[in-house]
Structure 1
Amino acid sequence: MKVAVVGAGAIGAYVGAALDRGGAEVHLLARGAHLEAMRERGVTVLSERGDFHAHPHATDDPASIGPVDIVFLGLKAYSYRDAGPLLAPLLRPGTGVVAAQNGIPWWYFHGLPGPYEGRRIEAVDPEGAVSAAIPLESAIGCVVYCSAEITSPGVIRHVEGTRFSIGEPSGVVSPRCLAFSEAMVAGGLKCPVVPDLRSDIWLKLLGNVAFNPVSVLTRATMGAIAEHPGTRELVLSMMRETASIASCLGSLPKISVERRFEGAAKVGEHKTSMLMDFEAGKPLETDVLLAAPVELARLVGVPAPTLELVHGLIDLLTVEARALASS
């Protein structure tokens, strides 16, 4: 199997190194010092599960890779609309684009029978820009249960988790999903092919929709947010509203809000990825994590006052942060 990892940051490089270890033909697309280090020395993975090293091909030119069987998309979701030039040389009929993103994907209503089949979600696919960059027929969903970080160029520290659940928007268990799953498993990762991936998307979103923006607004860790009575109730309210939206769309999360909350609270004194991005001055994934659920709540007629409130606050905060950075 020939795989291109577009956006070979922490997660992308970790997946690419694992696939290479499992025998796949892997090409890493990256830039800067991280790219140069991977070109010269390969990828070193540090993990409690066992350190390992791999040296797949690394480049900043997708044309040098050519068409592939699978593109593993390791970019942040807000970068998808601009990914067309990177993806075009890699795609051929049948190529799957495994989008390892958080939140609501641009393909959500693609292949989903019902009253909203084919509907575009403006928050995640503004004016169809993402669908134009990533053809819907190429999309393969991916819910990531893995954490990793770049400790230095070319060196990845695997923090926890090895599961990457994947699935076609139509729910069909396709040959391309099965082939990619086999390649991931050969590399030491878990990659179940899930017919109803939307339920997994909502389950993960239950935590991210609340803990991520609240952490940015308060600068608090997940443990502190869970322990404080006020933020605890705020988070639970956001999670309940999100579960109601999912239920109205036919994808009731597989566990209760309370159980999902307790699982997130056990993470303890840990900063969310959104808070770390905010502190680093990076853009935030609020469109897929918060704006999209708000849009869907309005679509199905579910009251979501807490989600609306927090979305307004985080939106203003990011506008002010951008203005300050440009001044």
Structure 2
Amino acid sequence: MRIAVFGAGGIGGYFGVRLAQAGNDVALIARGSHLQAIQANGLFVKSATGDFHITPFIATNSPAEVGVVDLVILGVKAWDVREAAEQIRPMIGPDTGVLTLQNGVEAPTEVADVLGHDHVIVGVSPVRCFIETPGKLKHVGGINPQLTLGEIDNRASARVDSIHAAFASNQVSVQIPDDIQSWLWLKFAGAVTLGGIGTLTRVPTGVWREIPEVRKLVQDSIHEVVAVAAANGVTLPPEGVDVIHRGIDMMPANHMTSMQEEIMACKPSELEYWNGAVVRLGKEAGVATPLNDLIYYSLLPQEKLARRQA
């Protein structure tokens, strides 16, 4: 496959490297010092599963230089998705798939609004990766890499099967569920719960999860997301709540979500696409979300300040 990673600084870069290892032609689109380092030395990934490195067939900041590809992996932050969808047009052919990997539930729809539903492939993954230094990524979350994916409308497709085959040959566990939207919302429920409670308490997961009264907030947050999902025609797996609780218990004691780390460092975060999305989508559907209202509006002033200072 001919693959382009648009935003090679995190999870997109990680999966791009994995696909290149599997023998695919991978182009990396980045910017600044990170791009310069990739152009000079390739892209390195430091991981508990073993370090690895690739030299892409092209590293550039221009989608037009890459041309039409079979698959675009969209590796940008949630707030950049709509603009990124416009920027990748030169790489989109009639059958090109665009794999969204963002936190939140709105990225697939935003890409579809720009490029059309036929291009959108929804990806869900616990992998967490960030730029340690220019040209070098550090893989810190989802150490046993997993990817759940499917067409936005759950139809079977040869391109999804091709992605499955490419990853399966290179130590990434891939599954194609019957309902990808259910999985997208399940991850969303976990993310907004851990991110929201962690950021509000400003302590690692291992601290707040031991307090019964705080632990009850987990249940309340999940139930709000489940209700908003149902109002949008999505049913979460019956075991979803238990899955999230088990996941919280399995987190390292020092675990924090990316949103919590960003807000505590006074940096712009994805608050608007996590707890903010629960509030916004709840209002649109007429579903009350009192806990997420409290979390979102308590954190919003600092988020606005961080964005003014960025």
For normalisation by structure 2, the TM-score amounts to 0.90
Q: Is the 8 A contact 1:246 1:252 kept in 2?
A: yes
CA–CA distance in 2 between the matches of 1:31 and 1:168? 29
1:35 match = 35
Per mean C-alpha deviation after superposition, the further-off stretch among 13-22 and 210-219 is 210-219
Q: Is the 8 A contact 1:238 1:306 kept in 2?
A: yes
2:249 match = 265
1:12 match = 12
User: Partner amino acid for 2:120?
Assistant: A
Listed one character per residue, the Cα deviations across residues 26-81 of structure 1 (whole Å, up to 9, x for unaligned) are: 00000122111111111222223222221112111111100100000000111012
Q: Unmatched 5+ residue regions in structure 1?
A: 109-124
Which one scores higher on RCO, CA 8 angstroms, separation ≥ 6?
Answer: 1
CA–CA distance in 2 between the matches of 1:12 and 1:106? 14
1:180 match = 163
Q: Percent identity?
A: 33
Listed one character per residue, the Cα deviations across residues 123-155 of structure 1 (whole Å, up to 9, x for unaligned) are: xx5xxxx55544332111110121223222222
Alignment of 1:40-59 (within 5 A): 40-56=40-56, 57-59=58-60
Listed one character per residue, the Cα deviations across residues 227-259 of structure 1 (whole Å, up to 9, x for unaligned) are: 234432223211122123334534123424244
CA–CA distance in 2 between the matches of 1:139 and 1:281? 33
2:82 match = 81
For normalisation by structure 1, the TM-score amounts to 0.85
Confirm or deny that 1:228 pairs with 2:228. Answer: no
Q: Is the 8 A contact 1:67 1:89 kept in 2?
A: yes
CA–CA distance in 2 between the matches of 1:59 and 1:306? 44
Alignment of 1:296-315 (within 5 A): 296-315=281-300
Q: Relative to structure 1, is the Cα distance of residues 287 and 23 closer, same or farther in structure 2, using a 3 angstrom cutoff?
A: same
Q: Secondary structure at the match of 2:244?
A: helix
Confirm or deny that 1:208 pairs with 2:191. Answer: yes
Taking only aligned residues, the RMSD between alpha carbons, in angstroms, comes to: 2.2
Q: Relative to structure 1, is the Cα distance of residues 279 and 33 closer, same or farther in structure 2, using a 3 angstrom cutoff?
A: farther
CA–CA distance in 2 between the matches of 1:218 and 1:190? 34
CA–CA distance in 2 between the matches of 1:10 and 1:299? 32
Q: 1:293 aligns with which of 257, 278, 283?
A: 278
Q: Secondary structure at the match of 2:154?
A: coil
Q: Relative to structure 1, is the Cα distance of residues 294 and 85 closer, same or farther in structure 2, using a 3 angstrom cutoff?
A: closer
Q: 1:148 aligns with which of 117, 129, 140?
A: 129
CA–CA distance in 2 between the matches of 1:260 and 1:98? 24
Q: Is the 8 A contact 1:82 1:133 kept in 2?
A: no
1:219 match = 202
CA–CA distance in 2 between the matches of 1:85 and 1:258? 39
Q: 1:138 aligns with which of 119, 131, 149?
A: 119
User: Partner amino acid for 1:265?
Assistant: D
Q: Relative to structure 1, is the Cα distance of residues 266 and 297 closer, same or farther in structure 2, using a 3 angstrom cutoff?
A: same
User: Partner amino acid for 2:200?
Assistant: L
User: Partner amino acid for 2:24?
Assistant: A
Q: Is the 8 A contact 2:100 2:108 kept in 1?
A: no
Per mean C-alpha deviation after superposition, the further-off stretch among 56-65 and 209-218 is 209-218
Alignment of 1:55-66 (within 5 A): 55-56=55-56, 57-66=58-67
User: Partner amino acid for 2:300?
Assistant: D
1:239 match = 222
Q: Unmatched 5+ residue regions in structure 2?
A: none
Compute the displacement of 1:270 (Å): 1.2
Q: Is the 8 A contact 2:266 2:302 kept in 1?
A: no
